[in-house]
Copies of this chain bind each other. A is one copy, B any other.
């Protein structure tokens, strides 16, 4: 029993428990299944054809429909919570997030993280921890890789501050570094089945799209989603404690807001079939049960992909707002402050078939 912690329960890591270069192998390997896919559909209403239909995915060169990329993110992310953010005060940001290998039902996902930055705050009570987290499948292939940074409490306020190290993070993922899922080819892509005729060539930087629809969220829904991801962050589940806290409410997992905004974005971006990278993201404000989510997107950039004429990349900024339809594109004002309705500001790369993908069908 040497080296056993005094308590059997998980205290999480406090700021002083992290050290630069530290490797954290996270618990709870998870086999993802068609059951997870069905629940994800029921909880988000996602309709992207590649993830919805095995037959459609096979035409596109895959063995079957892959899991929704955001679902993969949440499962990989959830495993890091007990080690990285159980004592977090705030989830500060994401960067350099790339999906690498597609995930199929039956795959088993595990996650590990490396501490790549540490900076104690001047108040001496908290510090910022930067981790690079990697999700792998049962073959050891990387499925997802991302950096996030969180503000974590110190437990022992007398613990010395570490040498501050802030990693140099890319402003955005270079499109040349985006991974197209192995085998994916869009020859014969069917835009009637996919739900919209608009392909990569039809989008231009600066274009704004109101995704029109609104989705109200219930407590049961966001808690089921978050438990499905085995994410244990306490603020999502415990009304007894949260009722006495700052908001008096359970907070919705911010990742579920990303999923809902992405599902809403189908209306206008139906052919943005894969998320390839997250350049950055900010949970601007908390979202609660009873709120209705709306979203809009701006095309920030379009990029060709090396050696591919069947698929291109769109860099999208998706903003989600609560209780505010998005025809007016609520966002940041000239002073940099957000409209009070905004809950999410997400900058990501999506993959979209190009016109050449249809050539074989429409000679």
Q: Which residue in B9, B54, B108 is a CB contact (below 8 Å) of A106?
A: B54
Query: A227 at the A/B interface (Cβ < 8 Å)?
Result: yes
Query: A210 at the A/B interface (Cβ < 8 Å)?
Result: yes
Q: Which residue in B8, B27, B270 is a CB contact (below 8 Å) of A193?
A: B27
Scoring A138, A194, A214, A220 by chain B CB atoms within 10 A of each residue's CB, the highest score goes to: A220
Is there an interface contact between B195 and A27, defined as CB atoms closer than 8 Å? Answer: yes
Q: Which residues of B contact A44 (CB under 8 A)?
A: 227
* Residues of chain A in range 196-210 having any CB-CB distance to chain B below 8 Å: 196-198, 201-203, 209-210
Is there an interface contact between B192 and A215, defined as CB atoms closer than 8 Å? Answer: no
Q: Which residue in B54, B198, B215 is a CB contact (below 8 Å) of A238?
A: B215
Contact flags (1/0) for A35-52 with B, using CB distance below 8 Å?
111110111110101001
Which single residue of chain B is at the shortest CB-CB distance from A29?
B53
Query: A22 at the A/B interface (Cβ < 8 Å)?
Result: no
Is there an interface contact between B42 and A56, defined as CB atoms closer than 8 Å? Answer: no
- A65 vs B30: C-alpha distance in the bound complex, in angstroms? 10
Q: Which residue in B3, B194, B215, B238 is a CB contact (below 8 Å) of A237?
A: B215
CB distance from A359 to the nearest CB of B (A): 15
With A29-B193, A38-B38, A239-B292 in contact, do A8 and B47 touch (Cβ < 8 Å)? no
Is there an interface contact between A28 and B4, defined as CB atoms closer than 8 Å? Answer: no
Is there an interface contact between A218 and B216, defined as CB atoms closer than 8 Å? Answer: no
Stretch of A90-98, A143-151, A228-236, A276-284 contacting B (4+ beta carbons < 8 Å): A228-236
Q: Which residues of B contact A192 (CB under 8 A)?
A: 25, 27
Query: A290 at the A/B interface (Cβ < 8 Å)?
Result: yes
Q: Which residues of B contact A55 (CB under 8 A)?
A: 29, 31, 108, 138
Is there an interface contact between A52 and B230, defined as CB atoms closer than 8 Å? Answer: yes
Query: A221 at the A/B interface (Cβ < 8 Å)?
Result: yes
Q: Which residues of B contact A212 (CB under 8 A)?
A: 9
Query: A267 at the A/B interface (Cβ < 8 Å)?
Result: yes
Show 16 residue pairs from A and B whose CB-CB distance is below 8 angstroms, ordered by the A residue: A1-B202, A3-B197, A8-B203, A8-B209, A9-B209, A27-B196, A28-B49, A30-B52, A35-B35, A42-B224, A43-B224, A53-B108, A213-B232, A214-B234, A240-B323, A241-B292
Is there an interface contact between B221 and A238, defined as CB atoms closer than 8 Å? Answer: no
Number of copies: 3
Query: A219 at the A/B interface (Cβ < 8 Å)?
Result: yes
Which single residue of chain B is at the shortest CB-CB distance from A33?
B34
Chain A residues with a Cβ under 8 A of chain B: 1, 3-5, 8-10, 25, 27-31, 33-39, 41-45, 47, 49, 52-56, 64-65, 82, 105-106, 108, 110, 138, 192-198, 201-203, 209-216, 218-221, 223-225, 227-228, 230, 232, 234, 237-241, 250, 267-270, 290, 292, 294, 323, 325
Q: Which residue in B8, B52, B209 is a CB contact (below 8 Å) of A268?
A: B8
- A68 vs B3: C-alpha distance in the bound complex, in angstroms? 31
Is there an interface contact between B9 and A29, defined as CB atoms closer than 8 Å? Answer: no
CB distance from A54 to the nearest CB of B (A): 4
CB distance from A247 to the nearest CB of B (A): 14
Which 9 A-B pairs give the minimum distances between C-beta atoms? Answer: A35-B38, A27-B195, A240-B292, A45-B227, A33-B34, A29-B53, A220-B220, A214-B238, A35-B35
- A296 vs B299: C-alpha distance in the bound complex, in angstroms? 51
Is there an interface contact between A216 and B239, defined as CB atoms closer than 8 Å? Answer: yes
Q: Which residues of B contact A216 (CB under 8 A)?
A: 219, 223, 237-240, 250
